[in-house]
Structure formats: C-alpha cells, structure tokens
C-alpha cells in the first residue's frame, strides 16, 4: 500500500473544499413567490374597494394577492384569519397561517428546488465520491490509496449533509419572504390602501370572502370577490 504524502493530503483538502463550496452554493433555493409588480387598489369615493389575484401554486399552497382601499369615512379593520376562499360547494376554506404556508411552500417548492439544484445525495453522492479519486489522481499525479477511497466516501456524505443544510435554508427563505409579504392585520382608514398575500391550500375556488369590522359600530361587514 502506498502511504499518502503531504502532497496527496493537500490535494484532497483542496478538492473537498471546492466541492463543499459548490454544494453550499447550489443548495440554496430562491424564495418561492415570484417578485412581480402588483397593482394596488385605488380608493373610490364612498366605496371600499378590493383587488385580488390568485398566483400559481407553490407546492400545496396557492398565494392570493389582495389589495383593499377605503374610500369611505368609516375606519375598517382587517383580520387575515377572517379572509376565506369559497370552494365549489360554497364552503369556506380558512387561510393557512404564514408559518404553515412557509413550511408547505418551502417544503414542496423552494425546498424541492434546493434538492434538485444541489443534486448530490444517495447514488449521486456516491458517484461524486467515486469521481473524487480520479480528480485527485489527476491533480497530484499519484496513485489513489485506500485512504483516498475512504475520503471519497466521506466527501459524498459531507455533500449530502450540505444539501440538508440547503433544505433548511430553503425553508428559512420561504418563511422570511412569506412573513414579509403576508397581508397584515390593520386598520384601513379613509383613503388608505393595504396590500399583501393570503395563502390557501391548493384547490379549486370560486370566490374570496373578507369579513371586515366596522370601527364605528363594531359590526361585521362581508365583501365577496370572484376568484381570479
């Protein structure tokens, strides 16, 4: 058996560092909701206006952009948990809390992208590990030893672990973006506009229903908007 030299070990460190850096870069997915321009509702005199646009599903989540504008003198309060989608039976479907929407969107959308872009795990990781021997041999011009083969196996496992960190990063990005974009609980004063996303389980819906609180009377007002 040929003993590893300092040149051998140095080359392996270089190869491993390069692969880990590559996997870290590939394992981070983009935020799941596309950053596109949205039109805000414009206050109309004497009316409470609403604009809604359903986006493409992200995993098992359908994001819906909402923008409301108060053209009346009465303050209204928005509660995101009181915004519903109506299914084909006319039943109300509650929105997903942002944290759950992030989990599902990051898990099936951004997270899937991280796994695909990382593309190093299981059999792929083993293939990369095997390929390390040839790469190191080319760099150092020396035969690959048993120690090198062990290093290749470890490298495959290390890259697989890097993709796992990519999964965590994908979820973190989804969570950060969804929190930032979700429609807030807010008072909508006269001539104010409030905009943001609400998130529903993926499905077939006919309408959006919002329950607003009249700040003067405390009564609930219902606004219904076709799903589109």
Residues 60 and 203: beta-carbon distance below 8 Å: no
Tell me the domain boundaries of the chain.
6-31+104-179, 48-96+182-226
Residues 26 and 199: beta-carbon distance below 8 Å: no
3-state secondary structure at position 152: helix
Distance, CA of 219 to chain centre: 37
Condensed to tens digits (0 to 9), the pLDDT of residues 89-99 reads: 999 999 999 88
Dist CA 115 CA 129 (whole Å): 18
pLDDT at site 35: 56
Dist CA 146 CA 225 (whole Å): 68
Q: Determine which of 51-65, 105-119, 121-135 has the lowest per-residue pLDDT on average.
A: 121-135
Burial of 90 (0-12, 13-18, 19+ CB in 10 A): exposed
Q: Determine which of 38-42, 88-92, 118-122 has the lowest per-residue pLDDT on average.
A: 118-122
- Mean of the per-residue pLDDT values of the chain: 72
Query: Would you tell me which CATH number, out of the four given (3.40.50.10610, 2.60.40.10, 1.20.140.10, 3.90.190.10), belongs to the domain 48-96+182-226?
Result: 2.60.40.10
Q: Token pair 């599902």 is at which residue?
A: 104
Condensed to tens digits (0 to 9), the pLDDT of residues 142-156 reads: 554 544 444 444 545
Q: Determine which of 104-113, 147-156, 197-206 has the lowest per-residue pLDDT on average.
A: 147-156
Q: Considering only CA atoms, which of 111, 41, 117, 39 is closest in space to residue 76?
A: 41
Dist CA 144 CA 58 (whole Å): 46
Q: Token pair 């290749």 is at which residue?
A: 152
Band (7; pLDDT cuts 50, 70, 90): low
């Amino acid at each position: 058996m040929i003993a590893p030299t300092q040149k051998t070990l140095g080359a392996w460190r270089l190869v491993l560092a390069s692969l880990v850096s590559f996997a870290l870069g590939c394992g981070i997915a983009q935020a799941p909701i596309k950053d596109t321009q949205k039109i805000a509702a414009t206050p109309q005199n004497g009316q409470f206006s609403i604009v809604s646009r359903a986006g493409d599903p992200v995993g098992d989540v359908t994001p819906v952009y909402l923008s409301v504008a108060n053209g009346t003198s009465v303050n209204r309060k928005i509660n995101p948990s009181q915004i519903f989608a109506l299914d084909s039976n006319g039943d109300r479907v509650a929105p997903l809390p942002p944290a759950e929407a992030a989990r599902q969107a990051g898990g099936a959308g951004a997270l899937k992208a991280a796994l695909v872009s990382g593309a190093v795990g299981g059999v792929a990781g083993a293939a990369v590990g095997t390929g390390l021997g040839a790469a190191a041999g080319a760099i150092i011009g020396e035969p690959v030893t048993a120690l090198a083969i062990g290093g290749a196996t470890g490298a495959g496992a290390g890259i697989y672990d890097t993709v796992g960190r990519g999964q965590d990063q994908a979820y973190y990005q989804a969570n950060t973006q969804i929190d930032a974009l979700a429609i807030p609980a807010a008072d909508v004063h006269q001539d104010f506009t409030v905009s943001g996303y609400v998130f529903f389980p993926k499905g077939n819906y006919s309408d959006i229903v919002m329950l607003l609180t009249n700040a003067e009377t405390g009564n609930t007002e219902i606004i219904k908007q076709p799903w589109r």
